């Protein structure tokens, strides 16, 4: 068995396309997802294949560590988050581990989310197909000889970790500010001066040298806040929005920023 190899699969009406790549790579660990659709309460309709595949794998790779999890096959963000939790855990345990995600089964959403995760976190993709496909067969839809491919993906530029951390701090500040508020506002915001205080206290706005005049020191803090964090988050990434007030500027999380925080929830 090849050590430090992790395989991730999504259940479907398949046998070969799920089991053969695992036999080929002989991973140390397997994460096997089955479907659960939250909106409808629908459970995986192909648990018979899950049971058969698990039995087959246990017979053929006795010491394979199998973890079964449910995930919503229709929820793009949830799939990314669940995969991210696995990657974070495994990379903490062994930073050099090889992670393979099979995108040949599951749903179109799980395949798209898995591809995105692969681009973000440098994982390997597996796609399998066979020489015989019969969607009307009561058994597995793919039969015949199995063909395996490792699709090459183009890397993407991930946002700087420090920017995501600051975005998380902003999100937490907003949660704390509004958790006990009875009066609703149209959009939650934090004043720029308050965010500055929080980031300075957490060590994100260290100055090489403090001025004798406190006004100049405060001005330096604001310049550092704008240059290092607010400008890239607002103008380059569109994760936050800054009000045009001359004094007491307000900072808002954009919808894009909220989605990014969901995606990076478990990896930063």
Please tell me the distance from the alpha carbon of residue 132 to that of residue 23, in angstroms, as a whole number.
Answer: 20
Closest CA to 222 of 172, 253, 214: 214
**Domains within the chain, CATH numbers bracketed:** 5-149 (3.40.50.10770), 161-263 (1.10.10)
Task: For the chain, state the CA radius of gyration.
Answer: 24
Interacting residues of 229 by C-beta distance below 8 A, sequence separation 6+: 162, 163, 166, 199, 204
What pLDDT is attached to residue 238? Answer: 93
What pLDDT is attached to residue 171? Answer: 96
Please tell me the distance from the alpha carbon of residue 94 to that of residue 267, in angstroms, as a whole number.
Answer: 15
What pLDDT is attached to residue 121? Answer: 87
- Please report the DSSP string for the chain in residue order: --TTEEEEEE--S-SHHHHHHHHHH--SEEEEEEEEETTTTEEPTTHHHHHHHHHHHHHHSTT-EEEEEEE-TT-HHHHHHHHHHHHHHHHHH-TT-EEEEE-SSS-HHHHHHHHHHHHHHT-EEEEEEEEEE-TT-SS-SEEEEEEEE--------PPPHHHHHHHHHHHHHHHHHHTT--S--SS--EEHHHHHHHHHHTTSS--SS--SSHHHHHHHHHHHHIIIIIHIIIIIS-SEEE---SSS-EEEE-HHHHHHHHHTTTT-
Q: Over the chain (268 residues), what is each successive 10-residue block's mean pLDDT? A: 82 94 96 96 96 98 96 94 94 94 95 93 88 64 66 70 95 91 79 96 85 77 95 94 94 93 83
Contact yes or no for 240/230 (Cβ under 8 A): yes
């Amino acid at each position: 068995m090849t050590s430090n190899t992790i395989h991730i699969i999504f259940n479907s009406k398949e046998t070969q396309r799920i089991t053969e790549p695992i036999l080929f790579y002989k991973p140390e660990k397997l994460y096997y997802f089955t479907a659960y659709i939250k909106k409808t309460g629908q459970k995986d309709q192909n648990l018979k294949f899950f049971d058969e595949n698990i039995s087959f794998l246990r017979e053929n790779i006795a010491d394979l560590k199998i973890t079964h999890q449910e995930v919503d096959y229709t929820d793009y963000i949830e799939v990314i988050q669940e995969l991210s939790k696995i990657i974070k855990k495994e990379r903490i345990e062994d930073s050099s581990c090889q992670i393979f995600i099979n995108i040949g089964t599951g749903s179109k959403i799980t395949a798209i989310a898995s591809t995105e995760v692969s681009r973000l976190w440098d994982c390997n993709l597996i796609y399998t197909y066979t020489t015989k496909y019969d969607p009307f067969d009561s058994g597995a839809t793919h039969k015949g000889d199995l063909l395996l491919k490792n699709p090459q993906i183009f890397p993407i530029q991930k946002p700087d970790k420090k920017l995501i951390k600051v975005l998380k701090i902003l999100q937490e500040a907003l949660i704390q500010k509004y958790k006990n508020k009875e009066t609703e506002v149209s959009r939650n915001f934090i004043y720029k001066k308050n965010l500055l205080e929080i980031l300075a206290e957490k060590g994100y706005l260290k100055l090489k040298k403090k001025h004798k005049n406190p006004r100049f020191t405060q001005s330096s803090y604001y310049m550092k806040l704008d240059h290092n964090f607010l400008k890239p988050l607002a103008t380059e990434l569109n994760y936050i929005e800054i009000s045009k007030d001359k004094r007491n500027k307000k900072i808002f999380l954009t919808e894009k920023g909220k989605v990014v925080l969901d995606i990076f929830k478990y990896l930063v």
